[in-house]
Amino acid sequence: MPAERTITLLPAATEIVCALGLESQLVGRSHECDYPESVKQLPVCSYDRIGTNLSSLAIDRQVKQLLTSALSVYEVNAEQIKQLQPDVIITQDQCAACAVSLPDVEQALANELQKPARIISLKPNSLADVMGNISEIASALSAMPAANILIEDLQERVDLIRHKLKFVENKPTVACIEWLEPLMVSGNWVPELVSIAGGIPVMAEAGKHSPYVQWEDLRLQDPEVIVVMACGFSIERTLKEIDLLLQLPNFTDLQAVKNKRLYLTDGNQYFNRPGPRIVDSIEILAEIIYPKQFIFGYEGEGWIKFDI
């Protein structure tokens, strides 16, 4: 069976295709796809309408303005895709602000391709959904044996953490910060990841979109652990705006801050991507929440402790 010429328009899908051993079938990617490093050589098939080097507040305002104006945050390069003549295009229908969406692709490619391409749209809200997405992509690309192996390996890593925490009773409350201004906590799959890693997620529900929250409400929750996983931000990018948190009224009175349990993570590479490295994200949380029980080696690269 000939290889399927595949374009992925979100980083998680690119990582899934590569983890299945099918990187050679990729002919195009989104502007955000950057892992593994080798995919950066592929033609770019989308663009970001948001200005670069903006503050968190400015980014939030631009995103809201674009969506209110019925414009996408991203633009699909239909001409590039037409030239690449894909058999399969993988996109998402989960978040209009996170990656190229299904309507973007359908509108951009209407009557453009010389041959019909199969469009796969992912909408993960849980760990099980991510595993299902792996199987869905593998099925479309005739790679189910590889998917079964990959899913089994990922599940074994999750089960290891669950087993080691089986008899832990006093679990700490954990607030995961997804955006710094306005303040937002991480929803979707993240509360489930926190629970697997032995924490009690606060102010967000598993499987539901990330909510905006008021600082006073978070202060009253007074979580024992705070993990910053700003959407699309590396640790270095987060450090540039960490003062947005530090300057909140009475921030230093939080028990997480007093007990030196404030952490910054690479949200862009880990928590924001519902692909195979979602299990890396669980391992990062396990290291953070239970440092004496778990050492997976992510500290310094995937997360750092931030002392005030």
CATH 3.40.50.1980 residue ranges for the chain: 6-123, 169-305
Tokens of 198: 């032995």
- Whether 100 shows a pLDDT value over 70: the answer reads no
Regarding the domain with residue range 6-123, which homologous superfamily does it belong to in the CATH classification?
A: Nitrogenase molybdenum iron protein domain (3.40.50.1980)
Residue 260 φ/ψ region, left for φ over 0, alpha for ψ in the -120 to 50 degree band, beta for the rest: left
Nearest Cα to 182, choosing from 241, 111, 106? 241
The pLDDT assigned to 70 comes to: 44
Q: What is the CATH number of domain 169-305?
A: 3.40.50.1980
pTM value > 0.75: yes
pLDDT tens-digit profile of 216-238?
999 999 999 999 999 999 999 99
- Whether 65 shows a pLDDT value over 90: the answer reads no
The rounded distance, in Å, linking the Cα atoms of 119 and 90 is: 6
pLDDT tens-digit profile of 163-202?
999 999 999 999 999 999 999 999 999 999 999 999 999 9
Q: How confident is the model at residue 101 (pLDDT cuts 50, 70, 90)?
A: low
Task: Check residue 101 and report its DSSP letter.
Answer: B
